Amino acid sequence: MNVRHVKPLIIPFFLRNRGCRHRCVFCNERIIAGNAAPVTEALLRETAAAYLAGSGDRRGQAEIAFYGGSFTAMPREEQMELLRMAGALIAEGVVRSIRVSTRPDELDGDWLRTLREMGVRTLEIGAQSMNDAVLRESGRGHTAGDVRRAVGLLKGKGFRTGVHLMAGLPGESLKTFEDGVTEIIGLRPDTVRIHPVLVFGGTELAERYESGLYRPLGLDEAVAWCKRALSRFTRAGIPVIRLGLQATGEMEKEGSILAGPWHPAFRGLVEAALFRDMALELVAKAGGIESGAVFHVAPADMSNFNGMGGSNRDCIEARFGSGAAAVKADTSLQRGTLRLIDGRGEYGTSIAEVCVV
């Protein structure tokens, strides 16, 4: 099974905190979204043209996305103006549809009908956790029950659904995080996004961190949590379309990120960790590595097999000897799969099948 989902071309616009009636303890939208300019018709058209120019021939396949706030909680005249501007591009055949992000407790069945008429086809729900105590501790202002109802309502209205999860929220343990993954799998959304909690300056979480009341996940810890989630969602056939936050210029400024598992290529770390688990599992299945054994991997996964800075190959060679990590790019393999072939036979696994350690 492929590790990556073939994503639609998403053209994002950020509505910094618009419609947000609660201040989550972790949120500094200025840093997360960067210096997002007000969305005007000129900006929308210019940005769409730039994305399409860099994407090859994908005119009519892209989606305009409004992120960074709770879209359905904004004043309805603001929603309609944004939808009108994006809808003009749909009518011209430039883009296919619209997606928006919102809170699970800000959905109205009658208004959803209007959104659909205006071209919205996907709603992404900011769940963040499926544990009510964690949600309270994080200042979310909604419950896990709201998430269940929201996903059910959206699916019943014919929308594609996405769910956002966070790893390492205040009061969260690996068990509550994994219980949340289990519940989200049961809800069967179309996609999932996951990112570990970062401590941004100017937030309540920063105050808790500085006073010793909150400990963020370490980078290795966050990778371990997220690789388990990625494997499980992949096994369930639910694409994880983003792991980690998109880097912005604001994040690079001193004092923006005070603590937490920040890495600009977080997904790469997670996938590399899974490939290390996969390689070690295949060696165990084979009963060791024979001379002439070769790992086979899809060309696009070669960097995942090698690991950051060759760390996976170093790990395998440290355990099994120099030259033990011979690898071949194999165009017959799907992404997210790995084969070990030696004189005794062929052994295979995938991100969806591996026993994550």
Tens of pLDDT, residue by residue over 208-264, are 999 999 999 999 999 999 999 999 999 999 999 999 998 777 777 777 899 999 999
The pLDDT of residue 1: 41
**How far is the C-alpha of 105 from the C-alpha of 125, rounded, in Å?**
9
CB-based contact 270:219 (threshold 8 Å): no
- Residue whose pair of structure tokens reads 């309805």 in the numeric block: 76
CB neighbours of 232 closer than 8 A, spacing ≥ 6? 181, 182, 185
The pLDDT of residue 259: 96
**What's the one-letter identity of residue 18?**
R
Q: Helices 144-156 & 109-117, crossing angle to 10 degrees? A: 50
The pLDDT of residue 37: 76
- Low-confidence residues of the chain, pLDDT below 50? 1-5
Among 262, 219, 226, which Cα is nearest to 31's? 262
**How far is the C-alpha of 26 from the C-alpha of 206, rounded, in Å?**
8
- DSSP class of 73: G
The pLDDT of residue 65: 96
**How far is the C-alpha of 243 from the C-alpha of 273, rounded, in Å?**
13
Name the pairing type of β-strands 257-259 and 120-128: unpaired
Q: How many CB atoms lie within 10 A of CB 185?
A: 17
Distance in angstroms between the alpha carbons of the first and the last residue of the chain: 19
Phi and psi of 19, rounded to 5°? 80, -5
Nearest 5°: CA angle at 118, between 116 and 124?
55
The pLDDT of residue 4: 44
Q: Give the long-range contacts of residues 181-187, CB within 8 A, separation 24 or more.
A: 181/228, 181/229, 181/232, 181/233, 182/232, 183/130, 183/144, 183/148, 184/127, 184/130, 184/233, 184/238, 185/232, 185/233, 185/236, 185/238, 187/147, 187/148, 187/151, 187/152, 187/163
Distances 39 to 27, 31, 32, 157, 311 between C-alpha atoms, Å? 21, 18, 17, 28, 43
The pLDDT of residue 323: 80
- Residue whose pair of structure tokens reads 């949600």 in the numeric block: 135
Among 177, 163, 181, 202, which Cα is nearest to 25's? 202
Radius of gyration of the chain from its Cα atoms, rounded to whole angstroms: 22
Q: Where are the beta strands (DSSP E) in the chain?
A: 10-14, 63-67, 97-102, 120-128, 160-167, 191-196, 199-200, 240-243, 257-259, 294-297, 327-329, 337-342, 345-350
